[in-house]
Structures are given as C-alpha cells and as structure tokens.
Amino acid sequence: MVTSETSPRPGRPRDADKDLAVLIAARQLLAEVGYPQTTVVAIAKRAGVNSPAIYRRWPTRQALLEEAIHGPGAYAPPEPTGDLRADLATWVRIFLARADSPAARAGVPGLLADSQTEEARRRLLAIGAPVRKAFAELLAGAVDDGRIAPGADAELVFEILAGTTTFHALSRGGEEAERFVSRMADALYALVTAG
C-alpha cells in the first residue's frame, strides 16, 4: 500500500511521554555508566518500555543516543536582544553548558567514533538544523538592521561556535567558563563584524 505524507501511518501514534522517558533514561545512563554500557536494553529498562518500542522510534542505538545528546533539551535557541555581542555570549554559554553536561561528556567521544557513515552524518546535521537556522537568523537580523555588514558566513561561524565549545567542554569541562564565554564571544563578534 502506498501512503503519502498526509496519510495516517498504521499502528498506534507515538507517545511523546514515552519518547521523553527514553531520552531522559539515555542521558542518565550515559552519565552514570558511560557510552559503551548505555545499551538499548538498559535504556528500555530504565524508561519502563520494551526494546521493540525503542526501535520503532529510533532505527539504531546510535540514532537514539545522538538525539539524547544533541536533540531537544533544556536550552532553546535564545531570542535576539539587539546586542549582537551579548547574544553571541549567550549562544556560547548555552553551547558550553550542553557540551559540558554529563551525558555529552560521556557520549560525544563514542558517537564521533561510531559516526562513520554518510547516514549518521546526515542524521546529526538534521538534529541540529533548527539550531543552525536560528543562529543564521541572528546574524541575518544583525545585517538587516545595519549592526554588521553582509558577508559573514553563518555556517562557518556556527561550526566554529559548536566545535570550539565542544572541544573546550570535553577537554576542560566547566573550567573558567565565564572567561571562556567572554573570549569566545569576542572572537565570534570580531569574525562576524569583519564580514
């Protein structure tokens, strides 16, 4: 049977509460026992669901752990304030906090080691797409109101933000966090104002 995107899918609809319970269980286990021991069976047991229910929602363990670490969490993209330097500092602070979470510190190295396929890379980019879009809109707004000149490569600046904060969190944790936030925001601001 052929279905369109608007046709209902067979079976029961996804239960958002179960999805959230699974993601929380995955984050907890990553922090408690590490990446190798955070198995689908352990996550299912902690979340109070069965393993087939997890595989109906996520195609692989890696896809589940990617979403648990990089997917929706406690930090929504911040609203622009009109002060681009302050906004960039807020973005750095949020990225650093997410990357310094116990689940991320335990899971990111394992995910990077396991992300060898094009499918895994596409999945990771899709998870981060809304955040990338919000960051690009921040810079576009600054161009539109004349705070910065056109020409800043939002994608490159986002990669610098994400990569640098992740490396800092993995190698230094929250060490001198506010100093790092200030220095990183200054660097990003210089980069985007240079065009």
pLDDT, tens only, 132-191? 999 999 999 999 999 999 999 999 999 999 999 999 999 998 788 999 999 999 999 999
Instruction: Examine the domain organization and report whether 91 and 30 are in the same domain.
Output: no
Identify the CATH number of the domain in which residue 50 sits: 1.10.10.60
Instruction: Examine the domain organization and report whether 91 and 165 are in the same domain.
Output: yes
In a domain, residue 76? The reply is: no
Tell me: pLDDT of 1 over 60. Answer: no
Q: Which two tokens stand for residue 101?
A: 């979470």
Question: pTM to 2 decimals?
Answer: 0.81
In a domain, residue 65? The reply is: yes
Give the separation between CA 62 and CA 115, rounded to whole angstroms.
Answer: 8
Domain of residue 52 covers: 16-70
- At residue 2 the predicted structure's pLDDT band, cuts being 50, 70 and 90, is very low
Identify the CATH number of the domain in which residue 160 sits: 1.10.357
Instruction: Examine the domain organization and report whether 24 and 65 are in the same domain.
Output: yes
Instruction: Examine the domain organization and report whether 65 and 88 are in the same domain.
Output: no
Domains of the chain: total: 2
Instruction: Examine the domain organization and report whether 124 and 147 are in the same domain.
Output: yes
Residue 61: partners with Cβ closer than 8 Å, 6 or more residues away: 39, 40
Give the separation between CA 138 and CA 160, rounded to whole angstroms.
Answer: 16
CB 192 within 8 A of CB 155: no
Q: Which two tokens stand for residue 58?
A: 């996520």
In a domain, residue 77? The reply is: no
**Boundary residue ending a domain (8, 35, 70):** 70
Instruction: Examine the domain organization and report whether 62 and 123 are in the same domain.
Output: no
